[in-house]
A and B are shown apart, each in its own frame.
Chain A
């Protein structure tokens, strides 16, 4: 096998961060999606395979402690665990409204390790500071990265709602779908079905 560092076009003493960046850059360039209906598709797929193999190889070598890397690759794995630890600490800080400390902790996490939770918590910090545009961007990113997380969704909804105590109610004209909308749509659908001789909801 050829030298994996040469495949990624980097020095053998590059840091983990640089390795990751080089990998991402190449993967982006040779991604099969860029070559749909293109005669180069096969070539790109082959190249992609090579890049993946080289990246895996470097990670494997570094996790075994083979010299040539700045940090050990193992940190990446344990980083996942200590990461969630940090996140729960940040949540506790946020609950006790120690926003600045939470922000410092968040900024310490390296860019490569920032996941949906990071973006959500950063959104919370920004929301608490009142930086609502940046906060919305962060929470939307979190929702995109983890679309099934109810907590992120619920928080995103909070942006567009005012106080429940307001006598003026919700004047926000969003495209949301309330429980009422669902029921009335079902009833309408049922009526339409009945007109055509069918039935959607048996009991009415």
Chain B
């Protein structure tokens, strides 16, 4: 589905890189054990970033241990932080299920039939998650709201990209801030919101060629008319995407003020919002031949 929110690995310190990989490994392992083995193939960087954010905000105690990976047969350093993994895996399972459901509603004919065949698999994944009913209801509500907006929105000068992006952003916000209180909640929810908004808009930009050929819904095509309209306004889109990253960075900055803490998590997250997000944006622009580079 996604994968836009990841650090630029060459800019990380070696120990930060190891930590990042350990978190990835831990999350993959946890999902495989508690949700379904198939999630190990579907896992992507966005959820790793969410798990990292959660760990960093709640300062979860975690230890690194060496464990064997069945798919690489090598022993790997794995970080155990079950609290954050549990939440992230639950969110992952819900999103998979509701995305599949949404796909079925969107498609027609034989495709719809085949997609429906796969649904029990996703609902099985979803049903293995226990105790996150509130989160599930938020995700369900927002996905329905988004589907509703997609149906009713017509090309219009008053069309607000933010209103559509809001649905997905609220989903990520509620995942990031689930069960937190006070300062932690404020920071996690705002970081989550900005991540969600970023992912939604960059995903729309990435899919723009595909959607304009197939006629699928794409908020950027609605706002700017057609693909040439998008290209004419590409600076505006770039600005709004980097604005989200900047806002994410400045909100996360509140988390690190005045505390003695391990800087590794913070550095990875700052890397994601200051460098990684822009690198992903450049890559997307490059694939659209709009002058982005893969730096």
Which A residues have a C-beta under 8 Å from some C-beta of B? 126-127, 129-134, 136, 158-169, 171-172
Contact = CB atoms under 8 A, between A and B. Distances in A.
A162 B245 contact: yes
A136 B240 contact: yes
Q: 3 shortest A-B CB distances, which residue pairs?
A: A163-B253, A162-B249, A131-B162
B245 A132 contact: no
A155 to B, nearest CB: 12
A171 B248 CA distance: 14
A136 B250 contact: no
Contacts of A126: 162
8 contacts: A130-B193, A131-B160, A133-B160, A134-B160, A136-B239, A162-B248, A163-B249, A164-B253
Contacts of B150: none
Residue with the greatest number of chain B CB neighbours at <10 A, chosen from A136, A159, A162, A168: A162
Interface string B260-278: 0001001100110111001
B11 to A, nearest CB: 7
A161 B197 contact: no
Contacts of A133: 160-162, 236, 240, 243
Contact of A168 (B240, B244, B247, B274): B274
Contacts of A129: 166
Interface of A is mostly: loop
Interface residues of B, number: 38
B6 to A, nearest CB: 15
A130 B160 CA distance: 13
Given A126-B162, A131-B162, A163-B250, A168 B243 contact: no
Given A132-B240, A136-B239, A136-B240, A163 B278 contact: no
Nearest to B8: A168
A131 B246 contact: no
Interface of B: 11, 160-163, 166, 169, 190, 193-194, 197, 236, 239-240, 242-254, 256-257, 263, 266-267, 270-271, 273-275, 278
A129 B167 CA distance: 12
A168 B275 contact: yes
Nearest to A162: B249
Nearest to B273: A162
Contact of B242 (A158, A165, A166, A172): A172
Nearest to B173: A130
A136 B243 CA distance: 9
Contacts of B247: 127, 130, 132, 159
A134 B249 CA distance: 19
Contact of A132 (B244, B256, B273): B244
Contacts of A134: 160, 162
Nearest to A126: B162
Given A132-B162, A163-B252, A163-B253, A168 B242 contact: no
Given A130-B190, A132-B197, A171-B275, A166 B243 contact: no
Contact of B169 (A130, A159, A161): A130
Given A126-B162, A131-B160, A136-B239, A166 B246 contact: no
Contact of A166 (B193, B194, B270): B270
Nearest to A136: B243
Given A132-B162, A163-B249, A171-B275, 15 more contacts: A129-B166, A130-B197, A134-B162, A136-B240, A160-B242, A160-B246, A162-B246, A162-B270, A163-B253, A165-B257, A166-B273, A167-B267, A168-B11, A168-B275, A169-B274
B156 to A, nearest CB: 14
A199 to B, nearest CB: 42
A168 to B, nearest CB: 4
A166 B166 contact: no
A127 B2 CA distance: 25
A167 B270 CA distance: 7
A136 B246 CA distance: 13
Residue with the greatest number of chain A CB neighbours at <10 A, chosen from B242, B266, B273, B278: B242
A25 B1 CA distance: 49
Contacts of A172: 242, 246
Nearest to B161: A133
A132 B244 CA distance: 7
B250 A131 contact: no
B244 A161 contact: no
Contact of B250 (A130, A158, A167): A158
Contact of B274 (A127, A130, A132, A162): A162
A132 B245 CA distance: 11
